[in-house]
Structures are given as C-alpha cells and as structure tokens.
Amino acid sequence: MRLLVSVRSAEEVGAAVDGGAEIIDAKEPTRGSLGAVDVAELERIADVLPDGMPLSVALGDHATPMAAARAMDLLTAVASRPAQLYVKVGLAGVVEPRVAQSVLETAVGAALASALEPGVIAVAYADHQLAGAVTPGLVVDAAARAGARGVLLDTWSKDGRTLFAWAAQSDVRRWLDGARSRGLLTALAGSLALDQMDVVRALDPDVLGVRGAACEHGRAGVISARLVRQLAAAKGQPDPRLHVIA
C-alpha cells in the first residue's frame, strides 16, 4: 500500500515528501473533492517533484464526455512525464451507467492521445446519492470496460464524515475485491485519518489517499511533514512490487 498525499501548491510538496509520501497528488481542496489546481500551479508542482516520484492530478467531476476531454488539457502544464502519472476523473452528476462509461471512455481516449499517456483513475463516491452519481459498483464496471487504469473510492462531501460513515468495512472489501478481479489498481480515500489505519491496513488497497489528516488545521490547512510521517508509519511499509506500475 502506497501513501498518496494531496498538495495544493508547490510549497507543500517538500513537506509531503519529507514525511514519506509515495505519490504526490495535485488538488485544490477549496474546489471540492476532486478540485483541479490551476495550470500555473500544476506546472510549479511538477517542476519541484523529486525524480522518480509518481504524480497524480485531480481533474474534477465531469458529467459529459466533452467536459472530460477538455479537462485533460490541464496536463499541458507538465513538461515531461513523471515516472508514473495518473489523472483522477470523477462522475458526480452522472446517474446513467451508459453515460458514466462514455465519460470514462473519452477520458481514456484523451489520455492515450496525450504525449504523457497518464493512467486514468475513475473515482467512485461512497456517498454517491449526495453526489448524484452512479454507484461505486457501476463505476468499477464502467472503468474496466473503458480501459481505465484503476478506481478510487472516496467521499464527495467533505463534512468530516469518513469513508466508513458511508460504507461498511465489508462493503468496501467487496468493492476492492471486485475491482481487483477486473485487473484495476485500487485506492481508498475519504477523510481517512490515523484512527482508521488498522481498518485500511486490513483492507489493503494499492493506494491510500489523504489530505486533511496530513494538514495542520484540516484539509484547508497546510501539509505537515510530522503528520505525514505519522500516517506513513501507521500504514506500514510499501509493497515494492507496486513501484513497477506504469
């Protein structure tokens, strides 16, 4: 399991890396669960990314294929491909499975057409009813059919409730097993903190994503190397096999 830390600026990258982040994720938390950073900020983040450090980029939620394709333009800010590059695409506002698949197919096509060829991570919401989105299980189906690289189970609402306020541990395990059986990279996020690490370790996703738990004063605060270090120690050692995922 690798630790992904979401940063909103280049200034936060150093603290995340010093604390033990294994993937840097570019995201603007004031713009929602998957808020995209500005082009200029993504350029600065990419410029200070250590050699060999994977980069993930939140592209937002998209209810139409055209919107998903346009969102990929943000990657023009990344001058050269990191060792591993992922883009996260959410489906808030998409209630029909066929539309969800179409959005993801378009995102995957745009990714393949890009010089950087990022892996597309489809984002499912445990609180999908609040997000007006398809269920997490349907996201797995759509992601696999569309050729996405992986799936992330997150929360759309950021009101302090964690992933496990919306989904039982047994349901999350079934979701992870279903995604793995389709050959998808798996990730969990959703206001997860130190007191959920025992549960997360037992579930063993490929990636654990955090923002608020890594910040002084919550997700709108500033990344703290001390807090990242605590999370890195609590989640355990990374699986060295995962460092070969492209």
Q: Annotated active-site positions, please?
A: 27, 88
Supply the Cα-derived Rg of the chain in whole angstroms: 16
**Residues 6 or more apart whose Cβ sits within 8 Å of residue 68:** 59, 62, 89, 103, 104, 106, 107, 110
Tokens, residue 176: 């992870």
Beta bridge partners of 187: 152, 207
Fill in the DSSP letter of residue 133: -
List phi, psi (to 5°) of 75: -70, -5
CA dist 91 → 153, 173, 217 (Å): 12, 21, 28
In the block, tokens 């150093």 appear at 14
List phi, psi (to 5°) of 30: -75, -10
Cα(46)–Cα(193) distance, rounded to whole angstroms? 26
CB 17 within 8 A of CB 45: no
H-helix or E-strand spanning residue 121: strand 119-125
Cα(62)–Cα(71) distance, rounded to whole angstroms? 8
List phi, psi (to 5°) of 192: -75, 140
